[in-house]
A and B are shown apart, each in its own frame.
Chain A
Amino acid sequence: KQEVTQIPAALSVPEGENLVLNCSFTDSAIYNLQWFRQDPGKGLTSLLLIQSSQREQTSGRLNASLDKSSGRSTLYIAASQPGDSATYLCAVKGYTGANSKLTFGKGITLSVRP
């Protein structure tokens, strides 16, 4: 059974800092990995999708990497801004059976201080 872990649960940084959010998963046989952002009281917004054959994806100040063999992904946020404050969730999708669904981590709540 796939398990996704995101540590720490919360992070507070000053504005302008570059930061890395970590995600680890137990079953390396994944189809893809997706990073989401959730603002309080809102739904999830997809940030980046990495297919199993890819090693990274970039969008603006965000860069996500994937290392399947070690069961890890990182989301790098450059030059953080107060508007980046939100909860960031990582989710992995497997190939077959019970793991074919998207399994979420519990998220990292990021606070960027002005």
Chain B
Amino acid sequence: DTAVSQTPKYLVTQMGNDKSIKCEQNLGHDTMYWYKQDSKKFLKIMFSYNNKELIINETVPNRFSPKSPDKAHLNLHINSLELGDSAVYFCASSPGTHRAGELFFGEGSRLTVL
């Protein structure tokens, strides 16, 4: 009964490929997020959705496109992968608006671009 689940957990791919990471939460939360953790372990927000609506869109290349088919899912699609995209991507969710509540994180998806 995992609360926030991401797939795949590991992803190894070549430069230039397109890949997707899926996230689902069964907590009934309204808000979902994507965070990127780089090699120096620094966590930085990429996107936030509230009830399928984009709330936060940090300065992220257009190659990254989030999609929220419903409020329990937030997927991340990455086009034309580059070496610098290698990182661990974390999905998270929180109750209420993006200003309220506690964040619950998934286990992360480690992306390696060769």
Query: How would residues 50 to 68 of chain B score, 1 for a CB under 8 Å from any chain A CB and 0 otherwise?
Result: 0000001010000000000
Q: 29 pairs across A/B with beta carbons < 8 Å?
A: A31-B99, A34-B102, A41-B108, A42-B107, A42-B108, A43-B4, A43-B106, A43-B107, A44-B43, A44-B92, A44-B103, A45-B105, A46-B102, A46-B104, A46-B105, A89-B43, A91-B43, A93-B99, A95-B99, A100-B98, A101-B45, A101-B48, A101-B56, A101-B58, A102-B33, A102-B45, A102-B103, A104-B43, A104-B44
- Contact assessment for A107 and B102 in the assembled complex, using a CB-CB cutoff below 8 Å: no
Q: Which residue, B56, B90, B98, B99, has most C-beta atoms of chain A within 10 A?
A: B99
- Contact assessment for A101 and B98 in the assembled complex, using a CB-CB cutoff below 8 Å: yes
- Contact assessment for A43 and B48 in the assembled complex, using a CB-CB cutoff below 8 Å: no
Say what secondary structure dominates the interface of chain A: strand
In whole angstroms, how far apart are the Cα atoms of A40 and B38 in the complex? 14
What's the least CB distance linking A33 to chain B, in Å? 11
- Contact assessment for B56 and A46 in the assembled complex, using a CB-CB cutoff below 8 Å: no
Also in contact, A87 and B41, with CB within 8 A (given A43-B105, A44-B90): yes
- The residues in A between 31 and 63 inclusive whose CB is less than 8 angstroms from any CB of B are 31, 34, 36, 41-46, 49
Total count of chain B residues near the partner, CB < 8 A: 23
What's the least CB distance linking B101 to chain A, in Å? 8
Is A72 in the interface zone, CB < 8 Å from B?
no
Closest residue of chain B to A9 (Cβ to Cβ) is B41
What's the least CB distance linking B100 to chain A, in Å? 8
Total count of chain A residues near the partner, CB < 8 A: 22
Also in contact, A100 and B56, with CB within 8 A (given A34-B103, A46-B104): yes
In whole angstroms, how far apart are the Cα atoms of A46 and B43 in the complex? 15
What's the least CB distance linking A3 to chain B, in Å? 12
What's the least CB distance linking B87 to chain A, in Å? 14
- Contact assessment for A106 and B103 in the assembled complex, using a CB-CB cutoff below 8 Å: no
Give the chain A neighbours of B45 by CB distance below 8 A: 101-103
What's the least CB distance linking B58 to chain A, in Å? 8
- Contact assessment for B102 and A43 in the assembled complex, using a CB-CB cutoff below 8 Å: no
Give the chain B neighbours of A46 by CB distance below 8 A: 102-105
In whole angstroms, how far apart are the Cα atoms of A100 and B100 in the complex? 10
